[in-house]
Chain A
Amino acid sequence: MSYAYLFKYIIIGDTGVGKSCLLLQFTDKRFQPVHDLTIGVEFGARMITIDGKQIKLQIWDTAGQEAFRSITRSYYRGAAGALLVYDITRRDTFNHLTTWLEDARQHSNSNMVIMLIGNKSDLESRREVKKEEGEAFAREHGLVFMETSAKTAANVEEAFINTAKEIYEKIQEGVFDINNEANGIKIGPQHSTSGGASGAGGAGAAGAAGGGCC
């Protein structure tokens, strides 16, 4: 399946905030959230449609690579969008946002769209960070904010897609240089002869297989 654009995302945030689960939840809906199962992945791709255009999202989790400065640096730079995730049940993950943001701002392309995600919104009883605090932080730093739950899939779609929409708008405005792949944006192959099968990935399969497994 061909696409008009490919956007590369990264997911950042403290360990244990549920980054890889969010990723899997978004890229492969067939993995239905179950209470006794936590599954995540470090990479995923999925096709979405914005403004009638097929857009492929490629999401790279940067977990486990923080030890190497060169790696985080490069990751930031190669992405068009970033999801900055914290855990609403752990105050410290919220407190570290500033550091993450500083890093992101320092290393990334200045046009990178950053979305702030308060994850695990299903655990309302253990909430330590108020929604208003997240909103305030986002407002202060010019981010888009959303509370999600990888468990219940609440807002997961929206988080990724809204980010994509913002990137798309920036492309329309001419802010992003789309011919420069270093920005994390790629123009799709002009002629896709390989048919619907190749490159469809999880999303394509998700559409076809739907909830067939259960």
Chain B
Amino acid sequence: MFRSRSWFGGGWGRPKNPHSLERLKYLHNILCKNTTVSESNRGTLVESLRCIAEILIWGDQNDSSVFDFFLEKNMLSYFLRIMRQKCGGSSYVCVQLLQTLNILFENIRNETSLYYLLSNNHVNSIIVHKFDFSDEEVMAYYISFLKTLSLKLNNHTIHFFYNEHTKDFPLYTEAIKFFNHTESMVRIAVRTLTLNVYRVQDASMLRFIRDRTAAPYFSNLVWFIGKHILELDACVRNDADHQSQQKLDDLVAEHLDHLHYINDILCLNIPDLNDVLTEHLLHKLLVPLYIYSLTSDSTRRHATSSPYNRDHIQSIEVITRNLEAILKGKNTEVSPGRINFPRRMESEEETKPSVSCVVSLFLLSQVFLIITHGPIVHALAWIILQSDLSVFEDGATKILEMYISNAKSNVKLEFSKPQLSLEKALESTSGHERDYTTPEYSGPKVFGYDTDHSSCDLDPELVSTSLPSTSQISESSSIAHDSTEDLVTQIHSMKSSELTSPKENMPDSPLPDSGIESGSSKTCSELNNITDEEKQKLLGATPTTTRERSLTLDSILERENKEIEKRPFLKTILDSLDCSENDYKALFALCLLFALINNKGVNTELLDTLLCPEPEIIGAMSSTANIETEATSNESSEQTPPTPAVRCSMQSFNILLISKLMTIANLSCKPASKVRLVTLELSVTLMRIAMQGASGVAGGRHLSAADTLRSRAAALARNFYKCDDIFLDMFEDEYCEMSKRPLNVEWLCMDAAILLPPTRTPMSGIAFAKRLPSGEMERARRAIRTFFLIRDLYLKLTGKPETQLPLTNPAPFVQVGDVLDLNDSDLISCDIIQKDGTWHHRFLAVDNIQIILVEPDKQRLGWGIAKLVGSLQDLEIQGDKEDPRCLHLTIHKPRVGASGALPRTVLLRAKFKFDDHIRSMAAKQRLTKGRTKSRQKKMQQIGRLLEVSGVSAPTMAPRHRPLFSRPGLTAVRRSTGSDGDDTDRRLRRPSAHMLKDGIVVYRERTTSRERILPWSTQSDNISRKVLAVMDSLRSSVSRNSSTHGSRDSSPRSRPEDIPLEDIRKSTGMAGNDSATPVTQPSQPSTSTQLPKQSNSSEETSFISADAPRPKRKGLVETI
């Protein structure tokens, strides 16, 4: 429509067809005539560039001559020329240019076209062009362009971007400059690009990445993360009132992003890259910042008194500040040496950066949850579990100093050792250094130059060698030496552990190939008879340990308690489990332990420290006698140094851990406990793992402890056991909630809300399980859930199946569509009128737990099809004020297991219209009673679970008696829901129940159930007597009833008098009749279906009605 408004007045003979070669020629002409960008031709150029993109893509898909022309005229060079002009409004043109390029590279399908486009190096020139990156739009288009290119990378195209001869890879090096851009989308694009680059398996390119860029990039990345978590820590420290929860959310999510990014890199499995990344992570971030923050303040103060520490631990601070200066101030000319060393002196008095213990535990949990790269997680786990501060405790500063003075030479020794075998490594080292100082290598290299050196500020020689060595030395031991040395220099506490614990650790050095496995690798080297000073150190330290051990043996727990003093990090974690004040720290400690134990990258033998009780302990713990233990432990510790084969010589803290967890669980069983549910759930989970150990079977000691715990939890829940509707609903809802949402620790650790001190108020928006209960209702909920959790622990430890929960077993439920034999059932005809006016005619039948609306089955007389099934328990019944024939019913979906979702689903809300007011009243009464009844039954079930006194007798046991059978079974269940058997049964409960199912149930329960029902053993004798009596009673009654039954079973005999007779008069006889025969398998009197029913009938919900009775019964009733 604007065609007349063309910029060239149309006088240039512009081809009509926008997609044609002619058109491209025309556009080429425009570019030729407008080599200089000016105010006047800007619009023209932009439009031409846009059209070029369009035509090229069209050509790529339709006409190859278009592309030939583009290449022939070298049109990309025009692009470059335009770009390089600094005239006004160029960003406007640049944006279009970048968009054109984006479109071009994204839409080209023809591979040859792509190669041609890339072949003349124009693209690289565009990449290195210094656009105006302060312009948000230019930045966004530029980074998208780079990202688009990275998606085109493969083994062929990589050569267009990476020049092997000039060692140049602008796409990558330019992009990583923006890794820390303020715009999140830019950062993400950079990460995408790096990952896309890494996954191209080109050896030469990867070598370049590793040698030239890995150290600077990763050290920066790591520093960036470190800075980030310091911010996170500050946020946590300053926010006791939950004010900046959103900011905290972002910071936590950001940290997760970092970890996932690192994990994505590690998962690409590029060994060289992983080595460098692992080193940087461990040495510059995870150990100095995360793990070191675990040490308690006192330990740290003590530790810092050594000169070694002051010098080195703070290095992260120095690095941090240097990097900050570099990134902000760009004073790249200053030699790193000049920045670093004076600074280090100055900052001696300053505190080194660290985060609070809570944050550190939280972050470490995330690390263990996300990263599974063996060398990293195993090293971390080793440090946490094994590192040892005994040297400091001894006040052995001399040893320390000696070690320190040797440290440098040690490093050198290590450093020089690979020289012999690895000349190549050194060559590349020198080359590597030279490259970094090459001035013409601008941009990222300058960037990397500083950071690399600043990161080297601890041991420059070390880091500079670490690259080649890790990559080229195939011998794992030497790598391990390198890394251990670095670890040692990083953190003094490590060093002490290196000195002492390899002895203990010796047997389990199962990962010879993992580079960072300090303890065990060192052990390897030692065993290999590599003589160096370090080995002497190790040997020198041995006596100390041995002495220590022999002195501290008192009782196992005491010993573990004492041992733990020597492991600062593990001690902090275990100490954090103390919930006496609150469970703030404990939750994170639990998360960390859980993550550690479940991390696939951590060697299982290392976990024995936590999970495996020493064999002698297992024997000894049954009694508290210590002498024996002492002896055995002594023995074992003496054996330890020479024979590495004794696995359990490794100090275990299993007993200590379990006792701590048990304390948490016990605390949660107290009414005013400060333990949150999530903490308990995690403790319980861990307790199970710790108790079962490697064998998977918990010892008797643990079982009895768990049982005691269970009764405590039951006692707690009992406080709230009331016979009101709310308790039952709450009980079932909590069960549903719990089975629906089992604990997911990974998700838990994504939630920043837990980083803030535990709160009580629901107005904080924090989920119930993650805060303390507020008010009586929530205290009840908490008690109920505590009970569930602990009961679950108990069952899992004992290996018993859950048979009592959920309260309702869905198996015997009538389902919609089931065809039911309703001969001789109480059926009340009614019309159902819904709000929208829809109208149905149905028959109402009432089961023990269900309300069933049926429609006659046209095929079989007396049978009906269930059209709607709802639970009686939640039925809402209301009379109609105007019409006495009507009732208003709200029917809910049965609450079944985990599917009983909240809010309850309403199946039907409608007006039920009966034939007359009598039937209406009868229906109302039957429904009301059914509702009460089914609730009472469940309350009794709960009572049994909670061991409420007076509810425990089996006679009281609520049983669900399914009334209807489904067709297709060998025998059909008959409906006996008639004749008010509810009332009847209640009236004669004891005998009736005994008669019906008590006999069977009772016996089996006594034998099969051990402790769930404490009454069983005691009352066994009595019950037997009762049984005998009942037996005789039964036979008489049943005979009696059979006659009645036959009388009543004629369906039409009393259609008119059902309601009144049934309910009002409680139909002593009738009810009795209909019900009793059913229980008699041998009863010949009634229909053939009866025997079947008898068994299924009164048994609780757990019985599948369809199951073959005789065998099934025993099983089922062990409930």
Interface positions of A (Cβ within 8 A of B)? 8, 20, 24, 28, 30-31, 34, 36-45, 58, 60, 64-65, 67-71, 73-75, 77-78, 177, 180-182, 197-202, 204-205, 208-214
Query: Contact between B107 and A40 (Cβ–Cβ < 8 Å)?
Result: yes
4 tightest Cβ-Cβ pairs between the two chains A and B: A70-B260, A43-B144, A70-B261, A182-B250
Contact B1 A77 (CB under 8 A): no
Give the chain B neighbours of A24 by CB distance below 8 A: 103
| Cβ B106 vs Cβ A199 within 8 A | no
Q: CB distance B54 to A31 under 8 Å?
A: yes
The docked-state distance in angstroms from the alpha carbon of A24 to that of B254 is 30
- Tell me how far the C-beta of B46 lies from the nearest C-beta in chain A, rounded to whole angstroms: 6
Residues of B within 8 A of A58 (CB): 140, 185
B474 within 8 A of A: no
CB <8 Å contact, A37 and B54: yes
* The stretch of B3-11, B280-288, B325-333, B1111-1119 that contacts the partner chain: B3-11
Name the residue on B nearest A43 (C-beta). Answer: B144
Tell which of A38, A70, A77, A197 has the most Cβ of chain B within 10 Å: A70
**Nearest chain B CB to A23's CB is how many angstroms away?**
11
Given known contacts A73-B260, A75-B188, A197-B92, is B246 in contact with A177 (CB within 8 Å)?
Answer: yes
- A56 to B91, alpha carbons, bound, how many Å? 17
5 A-B pairs, CB-CB below 8 angstroms?
A20-B106, A28-B99, A42-B106, A42-B148, A199-B91
Bound-state CA distance A146–B1032 (Å) is: 75
Additional pairs, 18, CB under 8 Å, beyond known A71-B191, A212-B47: A36-B19, A36-B58, A36-B62, A37-B57, A38-B107, A42-B102, A45-B140, A58-B140, A69-B263, A71-B188, A73-B260, A77-B257, A78-B185, A182-B254, A197-B88, A209-B43, A209-B46, A213-B51
Contact of B2 among A31, A64, A75, A211 (CB under 8 A): A211
Contact partners of A34 in chain B: CB under 8 A: 19, 58
- Which residue in chain A gives the minimum CB-CB distance to B247? A180
Task: Give Cα A194 to B916, complex, Å.
Answer: 85
B137 interface contact, C-beta 8 A? yes
In the complex, the answer to whether B140 meets A198 with C-beta atoms within 8 Å is no
Report the count of interface residues on B (CB-CB < 8 A): 58
**In whole angstroms, how far apart are the Cα atoms of A210 and B47 in the complex?**
10
Known: A64-B151, A214-B3, A214-B18. A73 touches B256 (CB 8 A): yes
Q: A73-B260, A78-B184, A199-B135 are in contact. Are A65 and B192 (CB under 8 A)?
A: yes
* Contacts A199-B136, A209-B43 given; does A38 touch B54 at CB 8 Å: no
Expressed in whole angstroms, the Cα–Cα distance for A198 and B106 within the complex equals 25
Please state if B185 and A71 are interface contacts (CB–CB under 8 Å).
no
Instruction: Report A92 CB to chain B, min CB distance, Å.
Output: 23
Please state if B47 and A43 are interface contacts (CB–CB under 8 Å).
Answer: no
Residues of chain B within 8 A (CB-CB) of A182 are 184, 250, 253-254
| Cβ-closest chain A residue relative to B254 | A182
Which B125-159 residues have C-beta < 8 A from chain A?
135-137, 140-141, 144, 147-148, 151
Distance, CA A182 to CA B192, complexed state (A): 18
Of A40, A42, A201, the contact of B95 (CB 8 Å cutoff): A201
A2, chain B: closest CB distance, angstroms: 11
Q: For B192, list chain A residues within 8 Å (CB).
A: 65, 68, 71
A198 near B137: Cβ-Cβ < 8 Å: yes
**Distance between A24 CB and nearest chain B CB, rounded to angstroms:** 8
Q: Known contacts being A212-B5, A212-B7, is A197 close to B106, with CB within 8 Å?
A: no
Chain A neighbourhood of B103, CB < 8 A: 24, 39, 41
Residues of A within 8 A of B475 (CB): none
Chain B residues within 8 Å of A210, by CB = 1-2, 5
Query: Is there an interface contact between A208 and B43, defined as CB atoms closer than 8 Å?
Result: yes
Contacts of B54 in A (CB 8 A): 31, 37, 39
B47 close to A69 (CB less than 8 A): no
Inter-chain CA distance A116–B46, complex, in Å, is 34
B247-273 contacts to A (CB < 8 Å): 247, 250, 253-254, 256-257, 260-261, 263-264
Report the separation of the CA atoms of residues A75 and B192 in the bound assembly, to the nearest whole angstrom. 11
Residue of A nearest to B23 (CB): A213
Kindly state whether residue B1046 has any CB partner on chain A within 8 Å.
no
- B192: min CB distance to chain A, Å: 5
**A209 CA / B3 CA spacing, docked (Å):** 11
- Measured between beta carbons, the chain A residues less than 8 angstroms from B42 are 197
B862 interfacial contact with A, CB 8 Å:
no
Q: Which residues of B contact A37 (CB under 8 A)?
A: 19, 54, 57-58, 61-62
A202:B188 contact, CB within 8 angstroms: no
Task: Please give, as numbers and ranges, the residues of chain B lying within 8 Å of A201 by CB-CB distance.
Answer: 95, 137
Closest to A181 in B: B184
Quick check: is B454 within 8 A (CB to CB) of the other chain? no
Is B140 in contact with A43, judged by CB distance below 8 angstroms? yes
Instruction: Provide the residues of chain B in CB contact with A42, threshold 8 Å.
Output: 102, 106, 144, 147-148
Q: Which residues of B, 146-174, contact A by the 8 Å Cβ criterion?
A: 147-148, 151
Q: Are the C-beta atoms of A213 and B18 separated by less than 8 Å? A: yes
> In the bound complex, how far is the Cα of B19 from the Cα of A42, in angstroms?
23
- A65 → chain B, closest Cβ, in Å? 5
Using A213-B47, A214-B18 as known contacts, say yes or no to A73 and B257 having CB atoms under 8 A apart.
yes
Measured in the bound complex, the distance between the Cα atoms of B549 and A146 in whole Å is 73
Flag whether B511 is at the interface (Cβ < 8 A). no
Scoring B6, B42, B185, B247 by chain A CB atoms within 10 A of each residue's CB, the highest score goes to B185
Nearest chain-B residue to A24 (Cβ)? B103
Q: Mark B1066-1091, 1 if CB is under 8 A from A, else 0.
A: 00000000000000000000000000
Closest to A64 in B: B151
Residues of chain A contacted by B148 (CB below 8 angstroms): 42
Say how far B153's CB is from chain A's closest CB, in angstroms: 11
Most buried by A among B6, B88, B188: B188
> CB distance A40 to B106 under 8 Å?
yes
Is the CB–CB distance between B135 and A198 below 8 Å?
Answer: yes
Q: Is the CB of B51 within 8 A of A43?
A: no
Q: Kindly state whether residue B96 has any CB partner on chain A within 8 Å.
A: yes
Is B61 touching A38 in the complex (CB atoms < 8 A)? yes
Cα–Cα distance between A199 and B106 once the two chains are bound (Å): 23
Q: Of residues B62, B89, B99, B246, which shows the largest number of chain A Cβ atoms within 10 Å of its Cβ?
A: B99
A75 proximity list for chain B (CB < 8 A): 185, 188
With A20-B106, A180-B246 in contact, do A70 and B263 touch (Cβ < 8 Å)?
yes
* Chain B minimum-CB-distance residue to A58: B140
Q: Is B889 an interface residue (CB 8 A)?
A: no
What chain B residues lie within 8 Å of A77 (beta carbons)? 184, 250, 253, 257
Check B50 for interface membership: any CB of A closer than 8 A.
Answer: yes
Q: Residues of A contacting B191 with CB < 8 Å?
A: 68, 70-71, 74
Complexed CA–CA distance, A41 and B151 (Å): 13
Interface centre among A20, A38, A64, A200 (most CB of B within 10 A): A64
Residues from chain B with Cβ under 8 Å of A31 in the complex: 50, 54
A44, A45, A180, A209: the one within 8 Å of B47 (CB): A209
| A201: min CB distance to chain B, Å | 5
Report chain B residues within 8 Å CB of A204: 92
Beyond A71-B192, A74-B257, A212-B47, whether A41 also contacts B99 by CB under 8 A is: yes
Contacts of B3 in A (CB 8 A): 211-212, 214
Chain A's nearest CB lies how many Å from the CB of B697? 37
CA distance A73 to B264 in the complex (A): 12
List, in ascending order, chain A residues with CB within 8 A of B106's CB.
Answer: 20, 40-42
Contacts of B135 in A (CB 8 A): 198-199
Q: Mark B504-523, 1 if CB is under 8 A from A, else 0.
A: 00000000000000000000
Q: A69 CA to B106 CA in the complex, in Å?
A: 22
Query: Chain A contacts of B188 at CB under 8 A?
Result: 71, 74-75, 78
Complex formed: what's the CA distance from A67 to B191 in Å? Answer: 13
Any A CB within 8 A of the CB of B811: no
Give the docked Cα–Cα distance between A44 and B135 (Å): 15
Chain B residues with CB under 8 A of A43? 102, 140-141, 144
Least CB distance from B117 to A in Å reads 16
Judged by a CB distance under 8 angstroms, whether B195 is at the interface is yes
| Cβ-defined contact, A198 with B91, below 8 A | yes
> A211, B1: Cβ atoms under 8 Å?
yes
**B1004 CB, nearest partner CB in chain A, Å:** 45
